[in-house]
Amino acid sequence: MINYNLKELNPQFKNNEPFEHIALDNFFDEEMLEKVYQEFPSQDSPLFNWKSNDENSKKLMCQDSEVIKNNLPAIDKFIKYLNSDVFLSQVSDLTGIPNLIGDNELAGGGLHQIVNGGFLNVHADFNISDQMPDLHRRLNIIIYLSKDWKEEYNGQLELWDTDLTHAVKSVYPAFNRIVIFNTQPDGDTIAYHGHPIPLESPEGVNRKSIALYYYTKEKPNNILSDKHKTIYKKV
């Protein structure tokens, strides 16, 4: 269901700056992802049951696994695959992090949709979920689902250096592009990221994605490994 041998890409993932990550195009089987794309709810859908509109973010989310299961069969099947032992094993091969545990509760993950004017300030993610207090968050994966996205719409994911002097990497949200990154890299590196520049997209042309978080029972050796909430920064 994926078009890569992830184990071969481990050196690239490990060596990318400003922290361990990789962005890969045409990642999933096109027919499978097209079904996900066609089923993705519109911005007016009641399925988007959580809305953020504050100083740190402006976005729509659906992170209720039961709502997805009962209303979005293709997306539900896709998310189950992303949480399967087969896929988690491949991600472990890529990242070198063993014993990954899937994001079945969609604790912060799920369906994300950002409309004109939306943004997400640069931040370091929370590391322990209240729903899964015995697990440590280790990885984010983001699958982009917007077709015909133009650079002038903004919405690029920015990966920042620990000192927050500049964005080292910018990832364009192209359809069937996946981003996988370590939220708790070893040592004193902090995985700051976001898309702080508000979207300037036409009405109805939105930044769509599915995000999942992966966990381990083992605590990482990171400067922020003790429990903390999301840490937002103004840049």
Classify residue 142: in a domain, yes or no.
yes
pTM attached to this predicted model: 0.96
Classify residue 150: in a domain, yes or no.
yes
**Which structural domain, as residue segments, surrounds residue 221?**
6-232
Given pLDDT bands bounded at 50, 70 and 90, which one contains residue 51? confident
Burial of 70 (0-12, 13-18, 19+ CB in 10 A): exposed
Classify residue 187: in a domain, yes or no.
yes
Classify residue 209: in a domain, yes or no.
yes
Measured CA to CA, the distance from residue 189 to residue 193 in angstroms comes to 12
Q: How many domains does the chain have?
A: 1
* CATH code for the domain of 206: 2.60.120.620
Residue-wise pLDDT for 83-116, tens only, equals 999 999 999 999 999 999 998 889 878 999 999 9
Assess whether pLDDT exceeds 90 at residue 169.
Answer: yes
Classify residue 87: in a domain, yes or no.
yes
Q: ω into residue 98 within 30 of 0, thus cis?
A: no
pLDDT computed for residue 158 by the predictor: 98
Classify residue 54: in a domain, yes or no.
yes
Classify residue 27: in a domain, yes or no.
yes
Classify residue 1: in a domain, yes or no.
no
Measured CA to CA, the distance from residue 198 to residue 200 in angstroms comes to 6
Assess whether pLDDT exceeds 80 at residue 50.
Answer: no
